[in-house]
Amino acid sequence: MNPPDLRTEYLGLSLAHPLVPGASPLVDHLDVVRQLEDAGAPAIVMHSLFEEQIETDWRGVDRLMLSHEESFAEATTYFPHAEDFALTPDRYLEHIARIKAAVDVPVIASLNGITTGGWITLAESMQQAGADAIELNTYFLATNPERDASAVEADITDLLVALCGAVTIPVAVKLSPFFSSLPNFARQLEAAGADGLVLFNRFYQPDIDIETLEVSPSLRLSDSSELRLRLRWAAILEGQANLDLAISGGVHTAEDAIKALMAGATTVQMVSALLKQGPGHLATVLAGVKTWMAEHDYASVAELRGCMSYRHCPDPAGYERANYLRVLQTWVVPS
């Protein structure tokens, strides 16, 4: 039997296979980018450039914070300084060009922000620098009780319209899982110009230090248990809008990647696994996917994709309230 055909299309890009290193500082270093390509990465997603970096005169903010250091000492602990970001906007654009020159695979630049300010025009410079697509990360927490869900959604669609107006390359939106009606919102994003969705942002949960009464930020890398939230929503969204779905969050093993494809993902992004195990882990997971597909007679990723989505799986109730009832009712309390 022929080896399985792993090719996939994502955001109009033809990729050799679906396992893509997701946005992370790994790609800030050219030698690591080359290692990722050597491990088989079919595309490179860049670390984000943040709205705050573009919109703010950082020297001014730094001066402001220093002048208030006595009265607002805590401000210096939570507000990042210019040098905390790996790349300034100019350096970021240069880095796109450097990565493009160093590897043969498509490069997806990443913009991270939430307002429709002038910062979004930087997307045009990203395209000019050689980006093949843009991932728009809308990391946002709704904390204002005056703003309803539709206002929050409109912020994101307005931002997307502005971005899509600035570029001709494809755009994916990286979302949080917290929307009242994600399938409806996905269609709104499609209408606003999105070509794909990245499911999901991973929220870095702050902790409370009960001794110092401080809210302490913490970054914990994921494990495979975080995949399930993504599996459910990819399965539900598959085929509901004309959008490519990328799963980001909790993909560590070949089994994880296969589940993500079965749920309906077009690509599967990996970050924590590569940070923990190194860029070469991509090749290990890819080999595992290939072997599994061959052993189970799957001829192509296209055949695998979506076979367990809400539309296609034998028991769609498994993704719904019915499953919740079943799970709760079948729990046996040990006597």
From 17-25, 89-97, 120-128, 303-311, span contacting ligand FMN (CB under 6 A): 17-25
Residue with tokens 């022929």: 2
How far is 59 from 131, CA to CA, in rounded Å?
Answer: 28
- Measured from the CB of residue 177, what is the shortest distance to ligand FMN in angstroms? 12
Beta-bridge partners for 207: 216
35 belongs to the binding site for ligand FMN (CB under 6 A): no
For ligand FMN, the binding residue among 13, 42, 43, 47 (CB under 6 A) is: 47
- Measured from the CB of residue 145, what is the shortest distance to ligand FMN in angstroms? 27
From 36-44, 63-71, 244-252, 254-262, span contacting ligand FMN (CB under 6 A): 244-252
From 32-40, 248-256, 297-305, 319-327, span contacting ligand FMN (CB under 6 A): 248-256
- Measured from the CB of residue 204, what is the shortest distance to ligand FMN in angstroms? 9
How far is 128 from 201, CA to CA, in rounded Å?
Answer: 27
**8 or 222: CB nearest ligand FMN:** 222
For ligand FMN, the binding residue among 42, 249, 279, 306 (CB under 6 A) is: 249
**202 or 298: CB nearest ligand FMN:** 202
**Other CB atoms within 10 A of residue 23 CB:** 23
Question: What is the footprint of ligand FMN within residues 201-230 (CB under 6 A)?
Answer: 202, 221-222, 226
For ligand FMN, the binding residue among 8, 10, 11, 22 (CB under 6 A) is: 22
138 belongs to the binding site for ligand FMN (CB under 6 A): no
137 belongs to the binding site for ligand FMN (CB under 6 A): yes
**167 or 274: CB nearest ligand FMN:** 274
- Measured from the CB of residue 298, what is the shortest distance to ligand FMN in angstroms? 23
- φ/ψ of 63, rounded to 5, equals -60, -45
How far is 280 from 40, CA to CA, in rounded Å?
Answer: 9
Beta-bridge partners for 111: 49, 136
Question: CA end-to-end span of the chain, whole Å?
Answer: 52
**120 or 273: CB nearest ligand FMN:** 273
251 belongs to the binding site for ligand FMN (CB under 6 A): yes
Beta-bridge partners for 120: none
Residue with tokens 């160093």: 102
**131 or 251: CB nearest ligand FMN:** 251
Question: Residues 6 or more apart from 335 whose CB is under 8 A from it?
Answer: none
Question: What is the footprint of ligand FMN within residues 87-126 (CB under 6 A)?
Answer: 110, 112
How far is 176 from 145, CA to CA, in rounded Å?
Answer: 18
192 neighbors 171 (Cβ within 8 angstroms): no
State the angle between helix axes of 281-295 and 254-263 in degrees (0 to 180), rounded to the nearest 10. 60
Burial letters for 77-114: b for 16+ Cβ neighbours within 10 Å, e otherwise? Answer: eeeeeeeebebebeebbebbebbbeebebbbbbbbbbb
Binding site for ligand FMN (CB under 6 A): 22-25, 47-48, 110, 112, 137, 174, 202, 221-222, 226, 248-251, 270-273, 275
